[in-house]
Amino acid sequence: MKNSRSLEIGTGLFVLLGFAALAFLTTQLPGTSLKFGGDEGGYTVTARFDNIGDLKPGSPVTMAGVRVGRVDSIRFDPKDFKAAVVLRIEDQYHEIPEDSDASIQTAGLLGGKYIGIGPGGSETFLKQGGQIEFTQSAIVLESLVNKFFANMASKGSDEKKDDAPAAQEQK
């Protein structure tokens, strides 16, 4: 009977492992809540942005290019139509001036978004529950491209106006 016992244990382990893997794939991967890479501890501060682009929970928060924390959560504030982004900053970086600014930046041309914090000059530091007042929104590539083409178009029409009298003079 020992044989049948080890057989059943082996099968049981295999089936449990398989179902654990299936459960991971179905519940964790398509989820919106972050379970991996989400840091515990540290303190949280809020920053409000006009437009966060495709910033996501779990995106890095950096100062001078060094990661000091992560985006904890993002929600839309219907009162002032802004995005309230909660940043979780590691405890060792507790001396961030209160008047620092936060801007949303892009890693590379197509890379993910992250938040860069530029230090201010204040003597008081950000605390748990604090707020970063100065923010700069994400640069949305499409609107940039639109602006560029709008500029080109207006320049083009200006040149035509300039050309028109010149052509008449030649006649």
Partner 1 sequence: MSANPESLAVNWVRRVGGMTLFFLQVCARLVPSFARPGLIVRQIYNAGARSLVIVMLSGLFVGMVLGLLGFDTLQRFGSEDSLGVLAALGMLKVLGPVLTALLFAGRAGTSLTSEIGLMKSTDQLTAMQMMAVDPLRHVIAPRFLGGILAMPLLAATFSVIGLFGAQLIGVQQMGVDVGAFWSQTQNAVDLRDVTEGIVKSVVFGVACSLIAVYEGYNCEPTPEGVGLATTRTVVSSSVMVLLLNYLLTAAFLTKS
Binding residues (CB under 8 A) for partner 1: these are: 4, 7-8, 10-11, 13-15, 17-19, 21-22, 24-26, 28-39, 56-60, 67, 70-71, 107-112, 114
Kindly tell me which of 73 and 103 has the beta carbon lying closer to partner 1: 73
In the complex, least distance from residue 79 CB atom to partner 1, rounded to whole angstroms: 26
In the complex, least distance from residue 142 CB atom to partner 1, rounded to whole angstroms: 17
Kindly tell me which of 24 and 149 has the beta carbon lying closer to partner 1: 24
**CB of 107 closer than 8 Å to CB of 77:** no
In the complex, least distance from residue 96 CB atom to partner 1, rounded to whole angstroms: 19
DSSP run (H or E) holding 10: helix 2-23
Kindly tell me which of 51 and 97 has the beta carbon lying closer to partner 1: 51
One-letter identity of residue 25: L
Phi, psi of 58 (to 5 degrees): 100, -15
Give the strands of the sheet with 130-132, arranged side by side. 130-132, 43-49, 82-89, 66-77, 60-63, 113-118, 101-106, 134-136
**CB of 56 closer than 8 Å to CB of 74:** yes
One-letter identity of residue 19: F
Kindly tell me which of 26 and 157 has the beta carbon lying closer to partner 1: 26
DSSP-assigned beta bridge partners for residue 21: none
In the complex, least distance from residue 143 CB atom to partner 1, rounded to whole angstroms: 20
In whole angstroms, what is the distance from residue 105 CA to residue 112 CA?
Answer: 9
In whole angstroms, what is the distance from residue 29 CA to residue 23 CA?
Answer: 10
In the complex, least distance from residue 73 CB atom to partner 1, rounded to whole angstroms: 12
Kindly tell me which of 32 and 168 has the beta carbon lying closer to partner 1: 32
